[in-house]
Every structure is written in C-alpha cells, then in structure tokens.
Amino acid sequence: MTLKLGVLASGRGSNLQAVLDAIDAGRLDAQVVMVLSNRQDAPALERAALRGIPAVHLPPSEYPQRLDYDRKAAELLKSAGADTLLLAGYMRLITTALLDAFPGRIINIHPTLLPAFPGLHGHRQAIDYGVRFSGCTVHFVDEGLDSGPIILQAVVPVHPDDNEDTLAARILKEEHRILPEALQLLAEGRLRIEGRRVIIE
C-alpha cells in the first residue's frame, strides 16, 4: 500500500532527498504528503517546497510544552493525510502525542549501529570510543532515545585518520541506501514487530 509519508526534519534533508529520489525511480511506493520542521532555515523545507510538497515550519517557541508542540504537529500531519512518519534528521525528542497518533508507524534513521551511541553527535561518540566499525540504523520509534525495534542496519569501517566529517560522509551513503529499502518493506506490509525484534516477511 502506498505510504503517505509525513517527514520531520531539522536540517539539510539529504535523507528526505534520498526518499524522494527512490520514489521517482520507482523503488519506493510512497508519497511525501508534508515536510515539517522545527527550524525555519532547514534546507529540507526548501527541498519540499521545490517539489510542491507542503512545507511547514512549526516554531518551538510558540509551544513551550513539548506535548503541545507534538499535538499540533500530529494535527497538521494527519490533516495532510499522513499515515506514517519519518524522522529524517529530526533533532527533537518526540512525545506520546505523536507516538499515540501514529502507533507503530514512526521510523527514524540514526547514524550509528544502535544500541551503540544513541543521541546527539553519534559520529564523534564512535570516533572517541575507538570502534573499528560503525554504521547506521533504521528503526521504529518508541518512547526511549533511539531505542525502538531495529529494521535495517549497514556497517562501515572507521579508518584511523577519520574525523567526524569523513566518517559521516561514509555513513550517509549507506543511510541513503537503507532508508528507502526499509520504507519499502513497510509499504509492502512485510515488517512485523515481535517484542524487540522486527521480523521481515
């Protein structure tokens, strides 16, 4: 079934772009119905507007309570027809207001091999820790921090001379590959959550 995607993004929006490109190429059965950002200057909003996708800046300053912010976001995304949410570089913790509005239908992309290095500055955390491999994770979102059931992961080496930027670039390529793949599995109804595990049928 065609996914009606609401995308939440705080920045550059290269993952949003990867999703749009996969849709254009016929690799992903989805439609992006709205892009919503907490940041007015997010290039992700511009990418959406360029394609005629409703692009909404929802300023956190107007909703000091995170629950109220998410209630409003849920209302906007629902009224755009979203049935699934994608957090694509969305740098805010979401609350039950969004989780309850889209139960089992919120997906996040994180630039480490979870459960290692959740939260902010994943690349720096990985380099500082000294891991030989890192990667990225696409997972369902639950109430914890980057803690929901894992759909797909990809692994990349960490080189001795890597800095945050070089590692991030290597990982980003894999993000752009596995994110549309994971969404397509969801579109095909092939993902089943069993406790912590996601079964791919």
The residues annotated with a catalytic role in the active site are 110
Residue in the block written with tokens 């095909």: 188
Regarding 89 and contact with ligand GAR (CB under 6 A), the answer is: yes
> What whole-number distance in Å separates Cα of residue 118 and Cα of residue 201?
27
* Cβ proximity of 13 and 42 under 8 Å: yes
Is there a binding annotation on residue 13?
yes
Regarding 111 and contact with ligand GAR (CB under 6 A), the answer is: yes
The helix (H) or strand (E) run that includes residue 172 is helix 164-187
Query: What DSSP state is assigned to residue 104?
Result: T
CB of 112 to ligand GAR, least distance (A): 8
Which one of the spans 12-20, 52-60, 77-85, 92-100 is the region binding ligand GAR (CB under 6 A)? 12-20
The CA-based angle 120-111-122, given to 5 degrees, is 35
Q: Among candidates 126, 156, 127, 151, which has minimal Cα distance to 141?
A: 151
Regarding 139 and contact with ligand GAR (CB under 6 A), the answer is: no
Regarding 66 and contact with ligand GAR (CB under 6 A), the answer is: no
Task: Pick from 45, 101, 109, 141 the residue near ligand GAR by CB under 6 A.
Answer: 109
How many residues bind ligand GAR (CB under 6 A)? The answer is 14
> What whole-number distance in Å separates Cα of residue 22 and Cα of residue 58?
27
CB of 95 to ligand GAR, least distance (A): 16
Residue in the block written with tokens 């997906």: 107
Task: Pick from 80, 85, 88, 187 the residue near ligand GAR by CB under 6 A.
Answer: 88
| Annotation: binding site | 13-15, 66, 91-94, 108
Q: Which residues of the chain form contacts with ligand GAR (CB under 6 A)? A: 9, 11-15, 88-89, 109-111, 122, 172, 175
